[in-house]
Amino acid sequence: MKPYAPGEQPPPGKFIKLNTNENPYPPPPAVIHAITEAASGPLNRYPDPMSTSFRRAAAEALGLPGPEWVLAGNGSDEILTLLVRGFVGEGQSLRLPSPSYILYRTLADIQGASWEQVEFDEDWRLPAEFSQSRDDLRLVLLPNPNSPSGTVVPPAEIESIANSLACPLVVDEAYADFAEENCLDLVQRNEHILVTRTLSKSYALAGIRFGFLVAQPQIIAELTKIKDSYNCDAISIAAATAAMQSQAWLDENVAKVNQTRSRLASELAGLGFDVVPSQANFVWCTHPSGQHRAIYEFLKTNQILVRYMDFGDWGDGLRISVGTDEQIDACLLMIQRALTQLP
Ligand code: PMP
């Protein structure tokens, strides 16, 4: 089996880290307080198996009818694992777009299932093929905003894709807080649309490992049967609950990140890059020189980590996460230097 290779995670402090779409800012202050409180709580006891405080806070923050619409997990990767485990069996298949988040393929492999990739067109739109039903197709997964492009399929189009499929459509909204639109309303009127979210990006909590699913209550109830009893620990539940209660912090953080994203995109364009308009906390860019690996290596030698991605025949490029303004200035300066040194 081919493993999924996550981005490089060097020890803290050595690099300006712009490779795994983390938030460059510390999490909401209420989270730190909640962690301290939880750490002095009864850690000899098992945590709440259903992460009830978190589910209530999430339902309230997102305007959902109630906590029964939310399932908490150890990162959204665990939620995605549960979805594939629950819906896709041996000999069945799942569909994903390409280039996109290839973890889904590994999750299918674990199940002894197959996966089918459908390529985006050159404007990062989905071809009609993506919506076609097939007998063995049990789950369709769509990151929205997509990674590595940061592009968005509009909710109206997502609804029409879901309506032409005979299986559920999972909209992976890991980056949706940075985007203009999301699919939460669709979940409430269409039982075939499921949304996954994470606290790793917009809530600056990648180190905590917390993600969740928003789906109709009957689906949450079924997936609850196949999760580990205590899939989220007491400290993480406390932290994630406090994060969901920090919506003003979220709005401010997203505004700051999005502002830096615009500047990063326009300055990269000024350096000759082709930059895909992004609604996430990263940008995908390619350079006419095609020297993406060399630029990545040059940056790494100079203590700046970005993500070099090679999608085979489709091509390669650089995905750069939005950092603080100072980090982005340092990155742009080093890219400029790299370009002057290319063969
Ligand atoms: N979905 C997408 C599209 C991602 O890029 C990531 C981050 N690698 C995840 C899900 C997983 O996020 P986490 O497990 O940290 O919640």
Mutate to test the pocket of ligand 1, among 23, 77, 282 (most ligand atoms within 8 A of CB): 77
SS3 1: coil
pLDDT at position 313 is 92
Closest atom of ligand 1 relative to the 80 alpha carbon: 10
Query: What residue type is 169 in one-letter code?
Result: L
Indicate the SS3 state at residue 283: strand
Global model pTM greater than 0.80: yes
Contacts 24+ apart (CB under 8 A), 14-17: 14/303, 15/300, 15/303, 15/304, 15/305, 16/303, 16/304, 16/305, 16/323, 16/327, 16/330, 16/331, 17/305, 17/321, 17/323
* CA 173 / ligand 1 centre spacing (Å): 9
Q: Using CA atoms, how far apart are residues 322 and 306, in angstroms rounded to an integer? A: 10
Task: Give backbone dihedrals phi and psi of 26, rounded to 5 degrees, phi first.
Answer: -70, 160
Name the CATH architecture for the domain at 16-26+248-340: Alpha-Beta Complex (3.90)
Please give the Cα distance from 322 to 145 (Å, whole number).
15
List of residues 6+ apart from 73 with CB closer than 8 A: 79, 82, 210, 211, 212, 213, 227, 231, 232
Cα 207 from Cα 209, distance rounded (Å):
6
Q: Which atom of ligand 1 is nearest to the CA of 6?
A: 8
Question: Rounded to the nearest whole angstrom, what is the distance from the C-alpha of residue 211 to the centroid of ligand 1?
Answer: 9
How many angstroms separate the CA atoms of 61 and 55, rounded?
A: 10
- The DSSP H or E segment spanning 307 is strand 307-310
The ligand 1 atom at the shortest distance from the C-alpha of residue 147 is 3
Cβ-proximal residues to 115 (8 Å cutoff; 6+ apart), any chain: 93, 94, 95, 96, 104, 105, 108, 109
Is there a shared CATH topology between the 16-26+248-340 domain and the 29-246 domain?
Answer: no
pLDDT in tens, 299-327: 999 999 999 999 999 999 999 999 999 99
Residue 343: predicted pLDDT: 75
Cα diameter, the chain: 61
Nearest CA among 152, 128, 132 for reference residue 142? 152
Phi, psi of 194 (to 5 degrees): -120, 140
| Structural tokens at position 85 | 């485990």
Q: Give the domain ranges of the chain.
A: 16-26+248-340, 29-246
pLDDT at res. 74: 98
pLDDT tens for residues 219-278? 999 999 999 999 999 999 999 999 999 999 999 999 999 999 999 999 999 999 999 999
| Residue ranges of the chain whose pLDDT lies below 50 | none
Q: Using CA positions, which residue lies closest to atom 4 of ligand 1? A: 174
CATH class, 29-246 region: alpha beta
Ligand 1 centroid from CA 289, angstroms: 30
DSSP state of 111: T
Measured in Å, residue 174 CA sits from the centre of ligand 1 at 6
Ligand 1, atom nearest to 211 Cα: 16
Please give the backbone phi and psi of residue 121, each rounded to the nearest 5 degrees, phi first: -80, -175
Measured from CB, residues less than 6 Å from any atom of ligand 1 are 75-77, 101, 143, 147, 172, 174, 198, 200, 206, 211
Distance of CA 170 to the CA centre of its chain: 12
Q: Phi-psi category of 200—alpha, beta or left, where left has phi over 0 and alpha has psi -120 to 50?
A: alpha
Q: How many other CB atoms sit within 10 Å of the CB of residue 224?
A: 15
Q: 243 and 38 in contact (C-beta within 8 Å)?
A: no
